[in-house]
Structure 1
């Protein structure tokens, strides 16, 4: 199992600040950075907007970000055939993406949960963003695709694999309602802002609903306008069902009925 984290609506966070956040992520995992890269448009690409990742040293990347010659970037640790042991990405509204930051490691969430929630808290204290999630995935490829909603990747049986991507302000020019009006889904750890906590759930504000029952998770303040909502793994399915049926989850879909088996003649 692998673990992923994503922060959304991060367009005002500068690349140098993001680089320090990425380095802090690697420190929290105990995995070292072995390679770095930045996105660059190709002059003779196959189509307009064609781009590639240019591999550089960490120090060279830092210099390029400081000079403004590079913006969107990656940090990696890769060994063997696994895509990465750990990775961090900073995306802008260029290169076919939308502003977000994401991080992944091939360590199960049970083994690294406290270290990553600590890193998420430190990040939220350092820079401003309205929404973040910590999730688990079968492998690093799924963890990567899930952050931006690519490749129809899901983490739950009751999840629409294309709904979040269509909601993002990138290719689909989505409404990004997850910033303040809805949640993507409920995860083991969620960073929510005041507008999230005001979302109505059966006549009660989401923040009050969370605090009304220990089974709904634990809500703690990270800064004056951001809270961390932590949910036990065994409660996620039920909580997603409740929030999904209330219409406040971007990616939720009702359970799909099983098709009856055809009887052989």
Structure 2
């Protein structure tokens, strides 16, 4: 099984910092970087396009230092199976300013991945982050991160995230609630039942815990057995972009008496 992390609105994080973090992450998980690539624009007479170009890690660093790279990815691939990947995207080529991380759960020990993300958030600003799990493959994890190809985690979740992305960018909604959510002060000020999200979280242990990571970002952790309740509660308040009304299970046919 695979898990994933998305850091949204990372325009304040440079390519150098993102690559340094990738090296830290791969080293901590004992998964060396085996594959590196970047996106190269192609200018044609009638249109513009792009292609993925494989490159050595040393070559990638050289190009980044020359400020020639916009979007890049680092991966650990073993026997043609991707076990760990960090992709740095920008608004070039129709993308968004995001960082996507996916990893095989076997690589993570004692919550190491979350600790690394927390440390990264203490030193760098992005507007929002999520950590999700339950993906059957690396492809499924990246599809969920990017919000396409019908990838969902919850049965009560929309699969067309992209059309709702503006609400995330405006800090007025959260995507869904996960076991780990990195949120900013605008999120904490959202109205929840005549109070703020911050006060609502702190009002009951079942609502999770808040940990201040910096003066701009907090980690909201939620117990897995509370996710359904919290998602449905906040979803009904229209605070989640991807939530949809749960579809009732069809009634089982009544057993006919002989």
Q: TM-score, normalised by structure 2?
A: 0.91
**How far apart are 1:69 and its partner, in Å?**
1.5
> What is residue 26 of structure 1 aligned with on the other side?
26
Q: Structure 1 residues 112, 165: CA separation in 2 closer, same or farther (over 3 Å shift)?
A: farther
> What is residue 214 of structure 1 aligned with on the other side?
205
> What is residue 256 of structure 2 aligned with on the other side?
none
How do 1:102-113 and structure 2 match up within 5 A?
102-107=100-105, 111-112=108-109
Work out the CA distance in 1 between the residues paired with 2:174 and 2:96: 18
Contact 1:3 1:108 in 2 (8 A): no
> What is residue 183 of structure 1 aligned with on the other side?
174
- Which of 153, 168, 171 is the matching residue for 1:155? 153
1:240 aligns with 2:231: yes
> What is residue 132 of structure 2 aligned with on the other side?
135
Identify unmatched segments of 5+ residues in structure 2.
Answer: 254-258
> What is residue 49 of structure 1 aligned with on the other side?
48
1:223 aligns with 2:217: no
> What is residue 85 of structure 1 aligned with on the other side?
83
**How far apart are 1:220 and its partner, in Å?**
0.7
> What is residue 171 of structure 1 aligned with on the other side?
none
Contact 1:9 1:179 in 2 (8 A): no
SS of match in other structure, 2:5: strand
1:124 aligns with 2:115: no
Contact 2:182 2:219 in 1 (8 A): yes
Contact 1:104 1:144 in 2 (8 A): yes
**How far apart are 1:125 and its partner, in Å?**
1.7
> What is residue 35 of structure 1 aligned with on the other side?
35
Q: Report how many residues are paired.
A: 253
SS of match in other structure, 1:236: helix
Work out the CA distance in 2 between the residues paired with 1:106 and 1:44: 39
Q: What is the root-mean-square deviation in Å for CA atoms of aligned residues? A: 2.1
SS of match in other structure, 1:37: strand
Contact 1:25 1:103 in 2 (8 A): no
1:1-58, CA deviations, whole angstroms, 9 ceiling, x for partnerless residues?
111111001122211111112222212322111111110023459x733221111111
Work out the CA distance in 2 between the residues paired with 1:180 and 1:41: 31
